[in-house]
Structure 1
């Protein structure tokens, strides 16, 4: 999946190859966050829009009641490619101004994006769908079983409940507008959210917001933001917008607001009881991060006396502290741990701005290994970073021998987490340096991730030592004379 950015901040034109793990390094104020936020917004835009204009021409066949089939051919794959490429074009103009909360209405007036998806990527998603096999709809009253025979995809409608309840479910199903329950639409509605699954973002401000999200996320704040976004979409509302500004409105880009919503929604949701016997792979990974990076201190949601929930950190048996009394590293990791315990699922898209914040260099390397494991669990990740430690260890992680599991297992003994799942094939990783307002690829097919150009600062600092030392010696010599 490739994205071309035009006139974004100081970037005139550059291209990003979005792979399962994408890493961007560069100096401050080099537009890394603009790229990360824009990619997140484009993903949301592509996921939210569904075109049904050409669905009826896909060639579905009804084998029997509740059983349909379709050929996996170029026409089918191109539908999803064309739709994604067209729908992201809506992410411009007023939509982009609102997304970034640009009150000047000038920063993004000429910004545009192009998205390219290959048919192979769509077919890979269809194959993932077949591996999942069973797709439930939200009310869980009916589901589809999906299988593939050669180039024919079959899916069957089933009901979850007993016969008399199934009749009720069927009536409900039939009550849906006819175009929605056509097999063409259902198939499209199943695949599109998997092609562009749920997206989550952890902005650089997360350390501060983990302490204040309750205050910022109250009902008054949400009403204010809804009103303000409506004003942004109306050119005749300049006076009302100015009044809101003078009243001291709270304005954040949409990704930051989404992060606040993420924290609030997790707190409000019904929390299932998690024990050692029913933990999924994401929850086990959260445990490993706490063991390796938090000295076994556990971050979790706990019920309050009045019925709400709050984030607590278990530092030892019988002692829990509030998140605002925890170390900065625990605060920075808390959103990731909450995501892994209560939200993570295969196909998600996760954007993390500066994951290395407040972490010791060894912890940065450990966290990168954990994130690579997360990629191998099916979550797509985009990182922006300033850390040479992350880049150096990323090169280690793309040099595993994936052709020989036994060798890969031996190689993993040299990793901090000693987990072979932290190794990623080079074709699943794209790494970039932001240089001269362009993304410069660091991928080297022979070497791995060639980030040696980023060591210039270390060389420069070392050179300054010799200059300072030599100048000091010269002064000492003059004094002796």
Structure 2
């Protein structure tokens, strides 16, 4: 993925290579969160199970159009032959993913002033702000189900046939035909198949999830919020509050998620190795409550749990139903975490990425940046020697070793009243340049030296 940012806050121009794990580092007030939230908003517009989409423009490049022509040419003859004179029920199944083996359609999502104002709830914004996210179909589709196009005879007097376009096992688009003559029209089939392709292309495989900086407070107060809350905070914050509320309502009505959720074990790992207890919604005589249990004998309301537990409670709930293909934004992963917990969280994020979750996160922590360097270095070690290293890591798993080609890191640096966004991952050494933190460490050391020198002069 490629993200182009123009005139967003203090950022005049920036181009970012968005990889499976993308890390933003830099000083406060350098628009890291705005960029992370912009990515969340753009990706949110793709996900069908989210609230109404933000005002995002969609575009497709020339490669898409050539791909579409190949689909039309390949399928029109097949469709016409299926639509013979005596056909009453037709079934055509096409696997559009094969058309991306030679050329890949690039999608472009564009967010301008209305997008930024609504996403960040800004009273006004620069008139020419623009965000462009470019990505190939292969970058956001981890699974491609064949599309089924089914024509059925109809018993309704005004309808000759029913056309069903099933773009995924759980999504079907239905239309009614007033004449079966259309089934013998090759041009109509071309239009139908191209529309089916567009529907197939629009189906994203996962969902978006965000952990905003306000998450610790929202864990305790999400069920006390009024409807007006969502109108005065950024959309990512409102979405997170709604996520907690929806999980609480589901628990109150006894609903449970059913299906294959391959990341639940990472949720258990978060509970056992980081927060040291279980998090969830439980039922008692007073109703459903959000709770934390540090042991089988103790159950605390979430507001009485430690700040680390409240900061990670939403992540734990998300992991219960997370799937490969999801897109996750985390603002300040290290929030309220002791250094050892920060290392464990860094490893957990690396494991999410290796399982197919895309993560964008902001951080001010040198521990996280240093440990990402460790994880990338460990991934370069021969597989037969990696088991020797795992006991020295917090989660004791080689699954946390992260290839550098999956990582991008950017420093948001204030320069002359503006912010420059710099790529700080050296592709030759496969390490993140952490001088943004070492400069402060050096200044502290030098300051202590001056204090000692002043002491000696007394």
Question: TM-score normalised to the size of structure 1?
Answer: 0.74
Q: Does 1:468 align with 2:451?
A: yes
Q: Does 1:315 align with 2:291?
A: no
Aligned to 1:212: 221
Deviation at 1:208, TM superposition (A): 0.9
Aligned mate of 2:228, from 221, 231, 240: 221
Aligned to 2:371: 393
Aligned to 2:175: 177
Q: Which has the higher strand share?
A: 2
Aligned to 1:40: 40
Q: Does 1:289 align with 2:270?
A: yes
Q: Does 1:189 align with 2:199?
A: yes
Aligned to 1:261: 242
Deviation at 1:39, TM superposition (A): 1.4
Aligned mate of 1:359, from 310, 320, 337: 337
For residues 110 and 354 of structure 1, the distance between their equivalents in structure 2, rounded to whole angstroms, comes to 29
For residues 474 and 176 of structure 1, the distance between their equivalents in structure 2, rounded to whole angstroms, comes to 86
Instruction: Select between 38-47 and 367-376 the one with higher mean Cα deviation.
Output: 38-47
For residues 114 and 263 of structure 1, the distance between their equivalents in structure 2, rounded to whole angstroms, comes to 30
For residues 266 and 76 of structure 1, the distance between their equivalents in structure 2, rounded to whole angstroms, comes to 43
Deviation at 1:38, TM superposition (A): 1.2
Q: Does 1:372 align with 2:350?
A: yes
Structure 2: runs of 5+ lacking an equivalent:
48-52, 83-90, 151-160, 166-172, 177-187
Aligned mate of 2:120, from 95, 100, 112: 100
Deviation at 1:173, TM superposition (A): 4.0
Aligned mate of 2:207, from 198, 202, 218: 198
Question: TM-score normalised to the size of structure 2?
Answer: 0.77
For residues 348 and 386 of structure 2, the distance between their equivalents in structure 1, rounded to whole angstroms, comes to 17
The change in CA–CA distance for 1:323 and 1:346 in structure 2 (over 3 A counts) is same
The change in CA–CA distance for 1:41 and 1:464 in structure 2 (over 3 A counts) is same
For residues 195 and 319 of structure 2, the distance between their equivalents in structure 1, rounded to whole angstroms, comes to 32
Q: Which has the higher helix share?
A: 1
For residues 198 and 372 of structure 1, the distance between their equivalents in structure 2, rounded to whole angstroms, comes to 19
Is the Cα–Cα contact under 8 Å of residues 22 and 359 in structure 2 kept in the other structure? yes
For residues 69 and 282 of structure 1, the distance between their equivalents in structure 2, rounded to whole angstroms, comes to 28
Is the Cα–Cα contact under 8 Å of residues 23 and 361 in structure 2 kept in the other structure? yes
Query: 1:214-252, CA deviations, whole angstroms, 9 ceiling, x for partnerless residues?
Result: 111x4x437x83xxxxxxxxxxxxxxxxxxxxxxxxx10
Deviation at 1:376, TM superposition (A): 1.1
The change in CA–CA distance for 1:313 and 1:71 in structure 2 (over 3 A counts) is closer
- Provide the secondary structure at the position in 2 that maps to 1:435: strand
- Provide the secondary structure at the position in 2 that maps to 1:176: strand
For residues 250 and 192 of structure 2, the distance between their equivalents in structure 1, rounded to whole angstroms, comes to 32
Aligned to 2:389: 411
Aligned to 1:450: 432
For residues 305 and 295 of structure 2, the distance between their equivalents in structure 1, rounded to whole angstroms, comes to 13
The change in CA–CA distance for 1:70 and 1:388 in structure 2 (over 3 A counts) is closer
Is the Cα–Cα contact under 8 Å of residues 343 and 367 in structure 2 kept in the other structure? yes
Count residues with an aligned counterpart.
Answer: 396
Query: 1:285-338, CA deviations, whole angstroms, 9 ceiling, x for partnerless residues?
Result: 11111111122x1111213546x6321111222321100000001000101000
Aligned to 2:87: none
Structure 1: runs of 5+ lacking an equivalent:
136-145, 147-154, 159-169, 226-250, 476-481
Aligned to 1:111: 129
- Provide the secondary structure at the position in 2 that maps to 1:447: coil
Is the Cα–Cα contact under 8 Å of residues 21 and 430 in structure 1 kept in the other structure? yes
Aligned to 1:239: none
Is the Cα–Cα contact under 8 Å of residues 349 and 379 in structure 1 kept in the other structure? yes
Is the Cα–Cα contact under 8 Å of residues 401 and 407 in structure 1 kept in the other structure? no
Query: 1:267-294, CA deviations, whole angstroms, 9 ceiling, x for partnerless residues?
Result: 223666699xx98431111111111112
Is the Cα–Cα contact under 8 Å of residues 25 and 410 in structure 2 kept in the other structure? yes
The change in CA–CA distance for 1:173 and 1:406 in structure 2 (over 3 A counts) is same
For residues 40 and 466 of structure 1, the distance between their equivalents in structure 2, rounded to whole angstroms, comes to 45
For residues 351 and 392 of structure 2, the distance between their equivalents in structure 1, rounded to whole angstroms, comes to 15
Aligned to 2:10: 10
